[in-house]
Amino acid sequence: MTVLDDVQLTLIRTPDDVAAFRRWIGERRPVHALGFDTETTGLDIRNDDVRLIQFGDGRHGWAMDREDWLGLARWVFDTWDGRYVTHNGALFDIPIMKNSCGIDIPRERVDDTLVACRINEPHYSAALKNQAVRHVDPAAAGLATVLHDTTWGWDNVPVTYGPYWQYGALDPVLAYCLWEHHGPIVQSTAPDSYDLELSVLWVLERMMRNGVHVDRSLAQRKFDEFTLYAAEVEQWCQTHFKVRPGSNDAVVRVLRDAGVEFTKLTAKGKDALDKDVLEGIDHPLARAVLSRRQLQKIASTYLRAFIELADENDVVHPGINPQGALTSRMSMEGPNFQNLPVRGSNPGGEVVRRCVDSRYGADGRLVLCDFDQIEMRLLAHLSQDAGLIAAFHSTQDFFVNLARQIFGDDTIQKSDPRRQITKNASYANAYGAGAAKFALTAGIPEAQAVEFMRRYRGMYPGVPQLQQSVYATASRRLREEGVAYVQSPLTGRRWVADQKKIYALVNYLIQGVAAETFKMKLLALDALGLAEFMCIPVHDEVILDVPLNRVAEVAETLRTGMTDLTTFAVPITAGVSTGKNWRDKEEWVLAA
């Protein structure tokens, strides 16, 4: 006998079913909440439709055909005075109910088990069925095969098909049961984290609705240009070297014959031919393969998405996952603007940025606001290193200050290459990179990198002390609790590392606190009235699309909303820039 064996599932078809459902609504429950879910024709919340509407608790799940019983569902939302428990409801079920059914579900009474389980156990899958297997009933593992061996899809399976409606009716039951497990834990261990993550969902949902305007005609021209270039490069490679540029083994053989030495291997033991390797080879074939690969990636990942996914107003609506990484950093898809090449590393990346422009045309501007060196500021705060803290309180550039101290030369300016070496060393420390990786990124001999890191850590002892403290605490937790983790000083949430990668927890701590700080600032911007302009978050930057006559006001408000002078040992500041598109932007000089 399993937990699910005791659950009763009902598809509402008759007046008697309606009467039983209404009586069930009035029953007492361990948690004064209803599980809520939908089954839809697809996953596009703007264009797909709701087919089934489902409610449930720990004992009973109900499904109703939207076409026949939408009024009954509306009655529930009009009369129920408790909470609603969903699994990813804030970013899917709630908005699609509004778009497809015209029903506004009160967001202040929505709980989300997807948010809770990602906080409670970030090292496990957060999928509803996987979570149900862990905490409700192992039998939930077999529930995802509802349409196997049928010719139907989610958009046309008959609502009365038993496995389909039963699958749907069970989902709110699972969500309710998961909340019984995760709710008390998250409310007792990390309530501030849960409140933050749940609240920011609504801001992100608004941003996804707003979307990003793109120059679709430019995207089409560049897509055609890059596609033609790739074909020409392929022909050139075959004519001059008798190889296809997409065949790594063949390209490696040609380059080896030309005297190139390969020292990096893939996971399968073959000679690697990735971007770093190709960039280090001075040979026309290597340059051709790299440039073709770069522009093909841009064309297929971004330009095609702009052409195919933009709506009738040339607006793309990327999906945002608020806790997409182990560090609780956000991720994105459709397309992933956060994965664009670093400026200057791929000419195609600049084309993508140029395609992102204002929906107001000549009467609008993009306004962009990006944290200033947030990771280094948090490293200074978390390490409580006096030297790092002092460098941030100076009016001079932070990395210039460090370079002057480390090299003992007060004449160093921003253009001095020693500033870049110092910057690379700072990030290498934050990320736990070794001397070899630091040497590679800084472009210096490894022996010099070893000596530089020794001097850096000696001058800023708070950094290695932080690393040692995090490692020791996580190792103790692994022994005593079975999990290696670090906790947020802001919300108390945990970031968990594989027991073989405990060294990564310093980076997790810095990235996690940066993610929380950014989300807090998004809430602040929303409270300051900027939600209608906010488009997408990209790492530590937020992009807004603003009418020209509101730009000055919005820029000033951004400075207020993104600045924090009291929470940390160093000031958290942000730079503001504006432009007709994402590429062609310039710093906004804010009023004093």
User: Residue 145's pLDDT is what?
Assistant: 66
Under the banding of pLDDT at 50, 70 and 90, the label for residue 590 is low
- Strands (E) in 22-65, as ranges, are 33-40, 50-56, 60-65
What's the mean pLDDT when you consider all of the chain? 91
Q: What is the DSSP letter of 588?
A: -
Confirm whether 202 is domain-assigned.
Answer: no
The CATH number of whichever domain residue 224 belongs to comes to 1.20.1060.10
Same domain, yes or no: 502 and 535: no
* Of the listed ranges 192-196, 240-244, 277-281, the one predicted with least confidence: 277-281
Residue 313 shares a structural domain with residue 389: no
Residue 543, helix vs strand vs coil? strand
Shared-domain flag, residues 392 and 500? yes
Domain boundary pick from 456, 482, 511: 511
Domain boundary among 447, 477, 511: 511
Task: Give a yes or no: residue 44 inside a domain.
Answer: yes
- Predicted local distance difference test score (pLDDT) of residue 398: 87
Q: Based on the domain organization, do 556 and 441 belong to the same domain?
A: no
Contact call for residues 560 and 528 (beta carbons, < 8 A):
yes
Q: In this predicted structure, which of 117-126, 167-176, 393-402, 463-472 has the lowest mean pLDDT?
A: 393-402
The Cα–Cα gap between 213 and 380 comes to 38
Considering the domain architecture, whether residues 149 and 251 belong to the same structural domain is answered as no
Has residue 207 been placed in a domain? no
Domain for residue 402, yes or no?
yes
- The whole-angstrom separation of Cα 136 and Cα 298 is 43
**Same domain for 140 and 33:** yes
Say how far apart CA 366 and CA 368 lie, in whole Å. Answer: 6
Judgement on whether residues 385 and 326 belong to the same structural domain of the protein = no
Residue 204 within any structural domain of the chain? no
Interval 388-411: pLDDT, tens: 998 888 878 888 888 888 888 889
> Where is the domain boundary, 323, 341, 364?
364
64 pLDDT more than 50: yes
Write down the pLDDT at residue 1: 44
CATH code of the domain covering residue 482 = 1.10.150.20
For residue 221, give both structure tokens.
Answer: 């021209």
Please check whether residues 474 and 505 belong to one and the same domain.
yes
Residue 89's nearest CA partner among 109, 64, 68 is 109
3-state secondary structure of 51: strand
- Domains of the chain: total: 4
Residue 480 lies in a domain: yes
Q: Is the pTM of this model over 0.85?
A: yes
3-state helix, strand, coil in the chain (%, to 5): 55, 15, 30
User: What is the C-alpha to C-alpha distance for residues 420 and 238, in angstroms, rounded to an integer?
Assistant: 40
- Asked whether residue 389 falls in the same domain as residue 465, the answer is yes
**In this prediction, what percent of the chain has a pLDDT beyond 70?**
97
> Domain containing 550: what range?
367-372+519-587
Q: Is residue 201 in a domain?
A: no
- 361: alpha, beta or left, given left = phi > 0 and alpha = psi -120 to 50? left
CATH number reported for the structural domain that contains residue 574 in this entry: 3.30.70.370
The rounded Cα 405 to chain-centroid distance in angstroms is 36
Q: Is there a single domain that holds both residue 403 and residue 334?
A: no
Q: Which amino acid belongs to residue 275?
A: K
CB 510 within 8 A of CB 484: no
Hey, what are 479's tokens?
Answer: 């022994």
Do 219 and 359 fall within a single domain?
yes
Do 148 and 7 meet the contact criterion of CB atoms below 8 Å apart?
no
Q: What are phi and psi of 356, to 5 degrees?
A: -85, 110
In a domain, 208, yes or no: no
Contacts 24+ apart (CB under 8 A), 449-457: 452/406, 452/421, 452/425, 453/425, 453/428, 453/429, 455/406, 456/406, 456/422, 456/425, 456/426, 456/429, 457/429
- Segment 415-461, tens digit of pLDDT: 888 898 888 888 887 777 777 788 777 778 888 888 888 888 888 99
C-alpha–C-alpha distance, residues 56 and 36, integer Å: 7
Given this model, what pLDDT does residue 466 score?
Answer: 94
Strand ranges inside 469-528, DSSP E: 484-487, 494-497
14, 146: one domain: yes
Handedness of CA 123, 129, 132, 138 (dihedral sign): negative
The CATH number given to whatever domain includes residue 115 is: 3.30.420.10
**260 in Cβ contact with 271 (< 8 Å):** no
